[in-house]
Structure 1
Amino acid sequence: MAGKVIIVGAGPGDPELITLKGKKAIEEADIIVYAGSLVNKEILKYNRKNAKIYNSATMDLEEIVKVMVDGVEKGLKVVRLHTGDPSIYGAIKEQIDELKKHNIEVEIIPGVTSLSAAASSLKVELTLPKVSQTVIITRPEGRTPKPEGESLKELARHRSTMAIFLGVGMIDKVVSELIEGGYRKDTPVAVVYKASWKDEKVVKGTLEDIALKVKEANIRKTALIIVGDVLCPKEYEYSKLYNKNFETEYRRKKV
């Protein structure tokens, strides 16, 4: 749509894991700026207009914004393509703010996250009654600092399900902080490399042995760490949602 930039969540990697709305935006785009280090290039083949393609992995913020602004001012349809869902570690706020300086609005089309894809590959439910009803999405502190109180050690106190992005490259540090914060050493852990891609790898273990297993699998980046008893629950309760003795506004008890 002329006059605005469409930010599209490209999904975790599998070209079919994109929304119909996102696919349509790509099909109709004249300019596509995509996160080349993470977005599967196969998704670009959906474009029907021989769009001009820019790989933002080699660009800085100023260059990215200039391409988008120039495109909009020429009346072209501009799509900014992010991996997964752009609301999670997408760095979209700064782009939106810069575009506003040029009176350019954005439309955001959500996408399937790598967390959803990883859970699908693992065939797990991230929330289970009497096991965990909370999912913490976070990352370890690296070159990007974290707010006070959000260290892995502090968050581990909850012992809920935790999804850790951008942490596999410092797996020893991650494990140490999680155990120090309160997780048991035998807490189940799964590391999913490139969830939903053809070369996906899954490594399972516990906090006691996952670091060694990850190193043996030669996984250094582009992987998600999921921690928690939901991965291998010793016991849990079936939900009340489909219990025959539980009444909802749609279903009566079956006495």
Structure 2
Amino acid sequence: MTRGPVRRVVSLVPSLTEAVAAGAPELLVGATDWCSHPAGLEVTRIGGTKNPDTARIAALAPDLVLANEEENRPQDLGALRAAGLTVQVTEIRTLDQALRELERVLVRGCGLPRPGWLDAAEAAWRDLPAAPSGPAAVVPIWRRPWMVLGRDTFAGDLLARLGVRNLYADHADRYPRIPLSELNARAADLVVLPDEPYRFTAEDGPEAFPQLPAALVSGRHLTWYGPSLAAAPGVLAAALAAAR
């Protein structure tokens, strides 16, 4: 953990950038090119989540670098530590884990008061079931090649709490590559198509699943862990209902 007050933060994770900026934008001195929320955030851009400019980050002299074990590469985090920087790495595979990690980052890491939106997020998801009981779905996250949500993913946990039964939730891989022919052969009731990381649209995605209703959902509400979590249940539930 950091020593002394944290006054300069570099975030390598869009979700965490938004989480810090929601309460203390003045702390942020650097963020990735993919950190799009809040709009108009004025910080030094340090490259992508997978290819950050570690020298530029070090030159910013942050008190704390925020990272994620899935979104960021170990070799980049190792280079930052070798430069003498404190790196806080999150691991987020479930909603409960996300809520705990957000408090750890914001309160214990950055020294901020617990934000009201975190309480709102907990309340918004509190009464939803933790086990799926609704339509069986395939959930692509990429095409060329086709990849879907598999086991042990944050987005999969959110969908399960909204009643969606992911047909690949027991796959050995977290993001398996599955041929389109196999996806269409599964006994799915629904295909869920987020607009990130691949930007599925009405013209690019549903046409690949001609026999299935397609739910086009907000990737930010499905895959980001931050202020968007408070509105996510309603936004996602509306998109799923519209497809049935």
Shorter-chain TM range is 0.3 to 0.5
| Bigger relative contact order, structure 1 or 2 (CA pairs below 8 A, ≥6 apart) | 1
Report the TM-score when normalising by structure 1: 0.40
* Bigger proportion of residues as helix: 2
Report the TM-score when normalising by structure 2: 0.41
Larger radius of gyration: 1
